[in-house]
Amino acid sequence: MTMLDASNIVLLFILTFLVTLAVAYMVIKISFSKNIVGRDVHKAWSSYASSVGGISLIAGVLTPLIFYSDVKALVIILSSLLALVIGLVDDLKRLSATTKTLLSTIPGIPLIIFNQYYPYPYIPFIGEARLILLYPLIILLGYAVALNAVNMSDTHNGLIVGVLLIFFSSILPLAKDHEILAFISSMIASLSAFLILNSYPAKSFVGNSGSFILGSWVASISFMERIEYLTIIALFPLIINGFSILVSIRGLRERGEITVRPVKVIKGLIHGNKDPRAPITLANIASLRKPLRETEFVAAVYMLILISTILSISLFYVK
C-alpha cells in the first residue's frame, strides 16, 4: 500500500494500541510467573513490576506492516529489533557499561546500509552542512546517544514514556511522507497503551529492552526526517541528564557499580542525595532543596520537555 488515508491511520492507531496493551499484559503475567521482576525503589512500600515490560513496545513498529512496507519500514523495524535484542540481553544478563555503549551503535547500521539518510543536516541560522564522509559516523554516534540518553532517563514511573509521547505527538505534523506518518502514529499509539501500565504505580517497567527500542525510534525518525537538531533541542534535558551522570560518576558505569544513589526515598518523598559521590541527575537536582512526590517530579519533567519541544519546533520554521 503506498498511501494511507485518515481512516487507515485511525485504524492503525487503534490496532497498535490494543496489540501493545495485550502483549504488555501477557509479559507482566509471564514475568511474575518466572520472577523476572524488579523492585520499585521509589515507593514507600514493597512494589514490584515486570522488568522487561518494554518488549511490548515493539508492536509500535510491527503493526504498521499490515498497511505499509518498503525500505523505510525495513530500516525502522530492523533498527528496533536490534535495539530490542541488545536491551533484552542487558535486562537478563547485565552487560558492562562499555559493552552496552558500543553495542548501542549497531541499530544505526540498517540506516547506513540501505542509504536512508541525507548527509546534509540543516542547522538553524546557518543552513545545510555538507557532511558526506562524516555522516555515517555521526549516525552511529547518534544512535548510541539516543539509546543511552533514553535508558539513563528511565528512572520513574511514566517518565520516559510520557516524555516521548509528547515528543512524537509534536513531530507528527512534520512527517513528510505517508510511511513515516504511519510509523509515528503507531509509535504514539504504542506509547499511549504502555503508559497505562507504566504510570504511577507502575505494573510494568520499560526496562533496558524497552528504553533501547524507544531510543532507536528517536534516532531513526530524526535521521530519516532530517530533524536532527530539532530532536537535540526538544530532548536536550535528557541529553544533559545523561551527560551530567557520566561526568559525576567519572565515566561509563553500570547501575550496579554505582554504590551511592542520586536520591533517597523517605516516607514516599524523593530527597536529593547531598553526598558528593551521588550521581547528578534531574531528580537529584529537582529535589535537593525541597522533597518531591514521584508524580510531582514526573510532571515537572513533562513540562520541561514540553517547553524545549515548543522551542525546537519554533526554530524549525526559522529558515
- Over residues 71-94, the pLDDT tens digits come to 999 999 999 999 999 999 999 888
Q: What is the pLDDT of residue 14?
A: 96
Residue 258 lies inside a defined structural domain of this protein: no
Helix residue spans in 42-172 (DSSP H): 59-62, 71-93, 97-103, 109-113, 135-153, 159-171
C-alpha cell at 21: 496493551
The Cα–Cα gap between 104 and 86 comes to 7
pLDDT per residue as tens digits for the range 161-172: 999 999 999 999
User: What 3-state DSSP class applies to 50?
Assistant: strand
Q: What is the pLDDT of residue 247?
A: 82
Residue 277 lies inside a defined structural domain of this protein: no
Residue 178 lies inside a defined structural domain of this protein: yes
| Chain position carrying cell 558492562 | 96
Residue 210 lies inside a defined structural domain of this protein: yes
Residue 275 lies inside a defined structural domain of this protein: no
Q: What is the pLDDT of residue 21?
A: 97
Domain encompassing residue 64: 6-226
Residue 80 lies inside a defined structural domain of this protein: yes
Q: What is the pLDDT of residue 125?
A: 72
Q: Which of 181, 166, 176, 303 is nearest to 231 (CA)?
A: 166
Exposure letters 243-269 (e unless 16+ CB within 10 A, then b): ebbbebbeeebeeeebeebbbbbeeeb
Q: How many structural domains are present in the chain? A: 1
Residue 251 lies inside a defined structural domain of this protein: no
Q: What is the pLDDT of residue 89?
A: 95
Q: What is the pLDDT of residue 5?
A: 73
Residue 56 lies inside a defined structural domain of this protein: yes
pLDDT along the chain (319 residues), means of 10: 70 96 97 94 89 96 87 95 96 89 97 94 78 92 96 94 97 88 96 97 96 98 94 94 82 67 87 86 89 94 96 80
What are the Cα distances from residue 59, in Å, to 17, 137, 264?
9, 29, 35
